[in-house]
Structure 1
Amino acid sequence: MVEVLNSPLASSISTYGYSHQNHLYCCSRRHDFRIPFQCISCCAYFDLGLKVKTSCSKKNLGFAVVALAEGSRPQFQTAKPRVRETFLLSKPIKNDNPRVFPSKVARLESVCEEERLPFVKENEDFSKNYPKQILPAWGSLADQDSENQNHVNKSSNIYLKTNDETEDEIYYLEERDVEILSRRLLKLSRANKVRSALALYRSMEHSSLLPNSHSCNSLLSCLLRNGRFDDALKIFEFMKANEIITGHTFSLILKAVANVHDCDAALSIFEEAERDYKTKKYMDTIVYNTMIAMFGKMNDGDQVERIWRSLKDNGLIGTEVTYRLLVCIFVRSSQNELALDAYHEMVQNGLSPDEDTMEAIIGACTREGKWDMALNIMQSMLNREIKPSLIACNALIISLGKSAKVDLAFKVYGFMKSLGYEPDSYTWNALLVALNRANKHADAIRLFESIRKEHSTSLNLHIYNTCLMSCQRLGLWEKAMQLLWQMEASEFCVSVTSYNLVIGACEASRKPKVALQVYKHMVQQKQSPDIFTLLSLIRVCIWGSLWHEVEEILNHAPNGSIYNAAIQGMCLRKKTDLARKLYVKMHEIGLRPDGKTRALMLQNLPKNVDQKRSDVVI
């Protein structure tokens, strides 16, 4: 050690105020002085690149090692050492942790109490009385000289640390209280000081001090916020190994794994934790909620159902969040029965559904036709002073309309207006459908006319088609034609369904020529007729005795359903000869008649069966 003080190379030692204090005796031919120092639990090693710089002030001299040299420890000869034994017996830190700084140079700084000590000259020889420093085998002397020369030129970069080095810092912890250190770790993590928090955590780990779960969860969240996924996984494994893990820990890491990788990777970790009896006890309802929400974003209702069943099998009870997620996910994935089951289970467990859950259930009831349940849920919302949305009101009106509950539908409509909502196109269409289901077609047409006059901006293609359906049922072909021209004038994209409804109105009123005109106009508008269009034309032409047109339609689109309709119509009109010809032609082109067609042909066979049987194949 004296050899180091004797060296002209500068050394810098810094102190941090440790409690134990000893003295270092240094003697030379000109100086004999005592330096008080504070002992720390580490050893300093030096190399040729160190320059020793001594300075004195009014403060005590203390020693603290900032970095340790690894892999190159110089040895001291102990022939009559003048240094006190207490310094030589200072206990070093056992370097079992690979994160301790590799290849670092100790930085020392000396401060004297009374006066500044003079520099020791280079020609003074202490080799006879004091320990010698045996230098590490770093190569030849020439290489060492060149390294020293380079060290002088790059002295400003000696103490610079890279990011990886600073992130692996380990400090000597003067404070040994785990609770105090955990609170410090918590504050650093909340302040988003990643490097300092990691250094404190690793120092506690190195000192066998176990932080509490709350501080580790905060550190885990801090690392994930800053994109330190790998470090977060290491801390997660550390918490599992030391059994300080919580459900919040699993929730954090599962969401992070799903974001970095995918939901299947998170599911693997979740299932592994469920199988392990040591970690299964930490899997609370919040962890299951995390997994349900994760697969809910993907609309994977089947996987959500499996997680829900697993939650109940493990003896856990869902929370309001659990059932809100289940109901909304099942409704969104069109699994309405499961949504209703989740809602009933929620009510049985004594939990109160919130606004989102109740509105989602109303939507599920409308799809399943359970209007009474939807009405009860709406009433319970009003009792709890929860204002239902316009979507929920429309859904309830639709459900009532499909069940032909016209009076209740209009009551909900009046209540909706009292809440301050303006009816939209969904509302009007639902009311029109309700009137049609109740066979009040004339009332539906009158309601349509009032909508057209007072709420023309709400008109759309669906409302027009609903009114055309009323015209078809009443056989009002003129009104249907008028609505069709209005649709085309309003530049609506008139669909095949609209033309079919107009042709159906002509069929109901026995207007075959008008139906054919609508059909030709439809083709001119580049709308391809479907099977319903052709069936209506066949029926209306048969009733109008337009046999040539019937034959053209059959040749244009040969189809078994169209041939069956034509043959049956001809048999009912007593055109048995034409029916037999079509029947034979139907067999020739490979079409199969249905049971009703065969029965009609058997009834209309001639009396001399042997004479005509060869013409007709039954």
Structure 2
Amino acid sequence: MIMVEVLNAPPGCSISMPRNSGPNYMYCCSKMHDFRIHFQCASCSSYFNWGLEMKMNSAKNHGTWVGTRKERIPDTFSVHKSIEIKNSCVIKPNKVASLEFKSVCEEGETKILEGKEGFSENCPQQILPPWGSLPDQDLEVENPLDNPSRISGKTIDEIEDEIYYLEEKDEEILSKRILKLSRSNKVRSALSLYKSMQFSGLLPNSHACNSLLSCLLRNRRLDDALKVFEFMKSSEIITGHSYSLILKAVANIRSGDAALSMFEEAEGDEKTKKYMDAIVYNTMIAIFGKEDNWVQAERTWRRLRENGRVGTEVTYRLLVCVFVRCGQNELALDAYHEMDQNGLTPNDDVMEAIIGACAREGKWDMALNVLESMLNSDLKPSLTACNALINSLGKAAKVDLAFKVYGVVKSLGHTPDSYTWNALLGALNRAKKHTDALRLFESIRKDNGSILNVHLYNTCLLSCQRLGLWDRAMQLLWQMENSGINVSVTSYNLVIGACEVARKPKVALQVYDHMVQQKQSPDIFTLSSLIRSCIWGSLWNQVEDILNYAPDGSLYNVAIQGMCLRSKTDLARKLYMKMREIGLKPDGKTRALMLQNLPKPIRP
């Protein structure tokens, strides 16, 4: 008869060993606890006790494990001495149980059953259960690796370094178990099984190792991942996917330079160079693109072609997006042309980026072709791409095409924004259709007044300046101030420019005074426009006041040239002499005018 006493065990934790059960017993334990087992001799009433410290290790999907590297079972068994036996028992496929026994001799109890039939001093098999042949039991046990505390005097790191003897020797089966553990993010269990296969001379396949690499890197265990990576290299089971995983992790955790050094080392080695496929190059391009390092991205692209590799759609998508984002529009167009030559179909992101690059480079015809290709492929261009194309067409004064693209915007269901309207107004101004621009602005103000901003007002003020509509410009300026829009210096300059074209110098001075009251500092364009207005209005004192306020060479040049055009040569010469006295340098046009108007010396 065997009785078990559970010391400090919570409810639900028990061990029962019925009479004559032999090795067939059941147990259940949710944590590590101390047990005291009372053995009673079948032929007498003597008792002796064993202190049992039980530790259950759940390692799912590890297969059947029997024993450890450090297993040591004594040949003799004596209850007079304290012994410790550590043995991994077979609980169920894919689970591991390790038990530690400590003998405890309590005072007042029989230490040994001498003279009793069926017992001898050296018969451990009558007391120890046969761990190697336990029946399959569906036991709910706790994995000690999930407990951050110390277990049986061992730390978590020591437990992870344990290597188990594997009863299963099939490499494919064990590789599948590593794969399943890694996908389930059981990093400790997967790593232990991998190390056990290494110790047993078994080689996991590349698929399992790559999955283990992903699992380790997800948990930011780069050092362990690098060890697995080096083992894969030495075992020649490495793949391009392995390099992609490691390079990306090194770049994220360490630096892009560290990833570049590793990549260059692998690329320079003939043994590993063959694994450098397009995916590895894509990884490096993505790393450089994240850092906006277009120089290294371009260099990697050149290496890809030099090594005889053919880029994929991902390659060119990365290149185009990196180059466009960094302002390298010509390189983006080169990558797009190469993609087309290789017969690859760009996606909508690439095509929209190319439209933006063409718009910035003034290649509106190519941008228009790309837009048509998107529409023919049933792709929906974004409003941003359409706005960029409208703006490019507007700069080329292609008003009709710009409004056709605007029709496409409406047909696609996009709502025109302020950038759309500003591009259309700019197109009309470029085509010198300023009256049409003012009409369009009025329709925008009536139908979509909420989207009016300073840029739209300034574009409309430019039309007023071209037409000399100073009164209309003044109205727009008051509307801007009343609507709470932050009026910029550019806006005041455009209004003053409209007064200049309309030959309204006094109104221009009033706008200037109002501008100063609004705490806006005039710039060189403001003062130049004022000087020209005052010269045409014969306001010479005001011209002199402006020059004294801001003595600048460009302002003196404007004033001298304006006076010469008004045939005020005496005033022009006076200003020229003053300009030279204060150390300002006249430009070429001013010097030419002065040579024409200065008195010629009398020859003897």
Which string of whole-angstrom CA distances, capped at 9 and with x for unpartnered residues, describes residues 17-46 of structure 1? xxxxxxxxxxxxxxxxxxxxxxxxxxxxxx
Letter in 2 for 1:585: K
1:227 & 1:500 partners in 2: Cα distance? Answer: 58
More strand by share: 2
Quick one: structure 1 residues 609 and 434, their matched pair in 2 at CA, closer, same or farther if it must change by over 3 Å? farther
Which string of whole-angstrom CA distances, capped at 9 and with x for unpartnered residues, describes residues 180-206 of structure 1? 221121112112222221121111111
2:353 & 2:214 partners in 1: Cα distance? Answer: 33
Cα distance, 1:313 vs structure 2: 1.4
Cα distance, 1:423 vs structure 2: 1.3
1:123 & 1:307 partners in 2: Cα distance? Answer: 85
Residue in structure 2 matching 1:495, options 483, 488, 497 = 488
Is residue 2:133 matched to residue 1:171?
no
Q: How does 1:128-277 map to 2 (within 5 A)?
A: 159=152, 161-277=154-270
2:470–2:498 Cα contact (<8 Å) kept: yes
Q: How does 1:467-478 map to 2 (within 5 A)?
A: 467-478=460-471
1:455 & 1:185 partners in 2: Cα distance? Answer: 62
2:527 is matched with: 534
Letter in 2 for 1:300: N
Quick one: structure 1 residues 107 and 592, their matched pair in 2 at CA, closer, same or farther if it must change by over 3 Å? same
Q: How does 1:350-361 map to 2 (within 5 A)?
A: 350-361=343-354
Quick one: structure 1 residues 64 and 462, their matched pair in 2 at CA, closer, same or farther if it must change by over 3 Å? closer
Quick one: structure 1 residues 69 and 213, their matched pair in 2 at CA, closer, same or farther if it must change by over 3 Å? closer
Which string of whole-angstrom CA distances, capped at 9 and with x for unpartnered residues, describes residues 298-321 of structure 1? 222122111111211111111111
Is residue 2:351 matched to residue 1:349?
no
Cα distance, 1:460 vs structure 2: 0.8
1:461 & 1:161 partners in 2: Cα distance? Answer: 71
Cα distance, 1:161 vs structure 2: 3.6
Taking structure 1 as the reference length, the TM-score comes to 0.75
Is residue 2:381 matched to residue 1:398?
no
1:406 & 1:197 partners in 2: Cα distance? Answer: 66
Letter in 1 for 2:516: V
2:572 & 2:170 partners in 1: Cα distance? Answer: 102
Quick one: structure 1 residues 574 and 159, their matched pair in 2 at CA, closer, same or farther if it must change by over 3 Å? closer
Cα distance, 1:176 vs structure 2: 2.0
Quick one: structure 1 residues 575 and 122, their matched pair in 2 at CA, closer, same or farther if it must change by over 3 Å? farther
Cα distance, 1:434 vs structure 2: 0.4
Quick one: structure 1 residues 435 and 51, their matched pair in 2 at CA, closer, same or farther if it must change by over 3 Å? closer
Q: How does 1:288-367 map to 2 (within 5 A)?
A: 288-367=281-360
Is residue 2:456 matched to residue 1:463?
yes
1:67–1:106 Cα contact (<8 Å) kept: no
2:34 is matched with: none
1:66 & 1:159 partners in 2: Cα distance? Answer: 15
Q: How does 1:555-574 map to 2 (within 5 A)?
A: 555-574=548-567
Residue in structure 1 matching 2:515, options 522, 535, 552 = 522
* Structure 2, gaps ≥5 residues long: 1-21, 24-49, 54-64, 77-97, 104-109, 123-149
Is residue 2:420 matched to residue 1:423?
no
Cα distance, 1:68 vs structure 2: 2.6
2:496 & 2:471 partners in 1: Cα distance? Answer: 11
2:505–2:537 Cα contact (<8 Å) kept: yes
SS at match of 2:534: helix
1:150 is matched with: none
1:444–1:467 Cα contact (<8 Å) kept: yes
2:575 & 2:52 partners in 1: Cα distance? Answer: 117
Letter in 1 for 2:472: K
Q: How does 1:369-448 map to 2 (within 5 A)?
A: 369-448=362-441
Cα distance, 1:415 vs structure 2: 2.1
Quick one: structure 1 residues 51 and 460, their matched pair in 2 at CA, closer, same or farther if it must change by over 3 Å? closer
SS at match of 1:385: coil
Residue in structure 1 matching 2:271, options 266, 275, 278 = 278
**359-368 vs 165-174, which moves further:** 165-174
1:488–1:494 Cα contact (<8 Å) kept: yes
Cα distance, 1:575 vs structure 2: 1.3
Q: CA RMSD for the aligned pairs?
A: 2.9
1:507 is matched with: 500
1:204 & 1:109 partners in 2: Cα distance? Answer: 31
SS at match of 2:166: coil
Quick one: structure 1 residues 123 and 194, their matched pair in 2 at CA, closer, same or farther if it must change by over 3 Å? farther
Cα distance, 1:162 vs structure 2: 2.3
Quick one: structure 1 residues 413 and 518, their matched pair in 2 at CA, closer, same or farther if it must change by over 3 Å? same
Taking structure 2 as the reference length, the TM-score comes to 0.76
1:464 & 1:560 partners in 2: Cα distance? Answer: 32
2:313–2:344 Cα contact (<8 Å) kept: yes
1:580 is matched with: 573
Cα distance, 1:263 vs structure 2: 1.4
1:68 is matched with: 70
1:64–1:108 Cα contact (<8 Å) kept: no
Is residue 2:598 matched to residue 1:598?
no
Cα distance, 1:66 vs structure 2: 4.6
Letter in 2 for 1:314: N
Letter in 1 for 2:70: L
SS at match of 2:374: helix
Letter in 2 for 1:478: D
1:328–1:339 Cα contact (<8 Å) kept: yes
Identical counterparts, % of pairs = 73
1:194–1:222 Cα contact (<8 Å) kept: yes
2:175–2:204 Cα contact (<8 Å) kept: yes
Cα distance, 1:159 vs structure 2: 4.1
Quick one: structure 1 residues 346 and 166, their matched pair in 2 at CA, closer, same or farther if it must change by over 3 Å? same
Quick one: structure 1 residues 387 and 51, their matched pair in 2 at CA, closer, same or farther if it must change by over 3 Å? closer
1:65–1:108 Cα contact (<8 Å) kept: no
Cα distance, 1:609 vs structure 2: 4.9
1:305 & 1:287 partners in 2: Cα distance? Answer: 15
Cα distance, 1:177 vs structure 2: 2.0
Q: Which has the larger radius of gyration?
A: 1
Cα distance, 1:271 vs structure 2: 1.4
Letter in 2 for 1:497: T
Which string of whole-angstrom CA distances, capped at 9 and with x for unpartnered residues, describes residues 54-84 of structure 1? xxxxxxxxx97556379xx9999xxxxxxxx
Letter in 2 for 1:439: K
Letter in 2 for 1:515: A
SS at match of 1:317: coil
1:217 & 1:581 partners in 2: Cα distance? Answer: 85
